[in-house]
Amino acid sequence: MSGERFESLRNAFRSARLLLAAKAALAVGLAWAIAPHMPGVTDEYPYYAPLGALLSMYPTLMESVKSGLQTLLGLVAGIALALIVVVTVGPNWWIIPLVAGVGVLLSGTGWFGVGHEYVPIAALFVLIIGGQNSDDYSLGYVSQMAVGVAVGLTVNLLIAPGTLTGAASARIDAFREQLAAHLHEIGDAVSDSWPPERDGWVRDAGALADTSRQVRHALDEADTSRKGNPRAMRGRHDTSEAHDRLEALELIAVRIRDISEVLADAIWDRPGGLGLNPTLAEPLSAACTRVADCIALDEDDSTAAHEARESAARAVRVLLESVNQAAVDSHQAMGPGVLMCMHLRRILLLLKARE
């Protein structure tokens, strides 16, 4: 738990977060300075401008634009709801709770995005705070919020946030290293003893799917950060290659998980599992280790990388020959060795396609 707290604290002080905090402070200050100079009665409600600036400040430009517009839409809807009450029955002890309930129902329609919470809030503010001056209050409320949103968007555009492609690429590299380490761990566990005594690789296999989803989310955020961002106008932060890399790694992760599950079924005699011939332990360990080396060297075009791939191909061929020989000796063609060999060959084909 302490490690998670430290990681959360470190994330809060990353450069991107510090830039966002500085821009939020600047936008709030500018909105507060501009708000008293608004024309008419709107200058009586300057405190809503800094709020609008703060609500429009998001890590990416598209999120800022979207959240700002959705917030204003929610405000307008709530104000309209309150004004209908004002010009008809008027606010009283029973109509105010009713309006709050209707506002909550409207906010659940999904029409207002992140601004859905402001539908009932705006309605209540107009009825309770606005009172007899609901018209002036409504105008000041929405106008000053719009000023704040405009200031926030302007600051976010002039001081454009960095794209998140670098962070996403780093997550993809870490995912690749995790896959290689997991396959290495399987190879080491099989070579140490038979049946393997270490079982950490079984638990780690379940984490691969979670990691894959997290990396995919990080890449989606990187795509969002590029939209409308001046820093991405010249294609310097293109993510097409990152998408190709992640797609290949996701396919590799599926095959490594299958290898883990099939091996675990064979070792612990799980329902549906088939026994693995102990003579396959050594060639299986060698094949897993060599293929893991190739995964770790993905994207590397060096002589060492080519030699690693050739060594992995030979190790998989040796495993295939051992599987065939074990099938002949035992008169049993079905077994986990066949499936694991197929998966390892498929991983090599995926790596070759990337190359």
The string of DSSP letters for 13-58 reads TSHHHHHHHHHHHHHHHHHHHHGGG-SGGGGG-TTHHHHHHHHT--
* Residue indicated by tokens 């005699």: 269
* Residues 6+ away with beta carbon under 8 Å from 163: 222, 225, 226, 229, 231, 232, 237
214 pLDDT band (50/70/90 cuts)? confident
The model's pTM is 0.66
CATH of domain 165-354: 1.20.120
pLDDT of residue 26: 94
Which residue did the predictor score with more confidence, 131 or 213? 213
Query: In this prediction, what percent of the chain has a pLDDT beyond 90?
Result: 21
Query: In this prediction, what percent of the chain has a pLDDT beyond 70?
Result: 81
- Return the minimum-mean-pLDDT range out of 45-54, 182-191, 268-277, 301-310: 268-277
pLDDT digits (tens, 9 = 90+) for 150-193: 999 999 888 876 666 777 888 888 899 989 988 888 888 777 66
6 pLDDT band (50/70/90 cuts)? low
CA atoms of 218 and 227, how far apart (whole Å): 15
> Virtual CA dihedral for 154, 155, 158, 160, nearest 10 degrees?
-110
Q: CA 9 from chain center: how many Å?
A: 19
Would the pLDDT of 1 be above 50? no
Would the pLDDT of 272 be above 60? no
> Mean pLDDT of all residues in the chain?
82
pLDDT of residue 4: 54
User: What are the structural domain ranges in the chain?
Assistant: 12-158, 165-354
76 pLDDT band (50/70/90 cuts)? very high
pLDDT of residue 200: 65
CA atoms of 216 and 221, how far apart (whole Å): 9
Which residue did the predictor score with more confidence, 324 or 199? 324
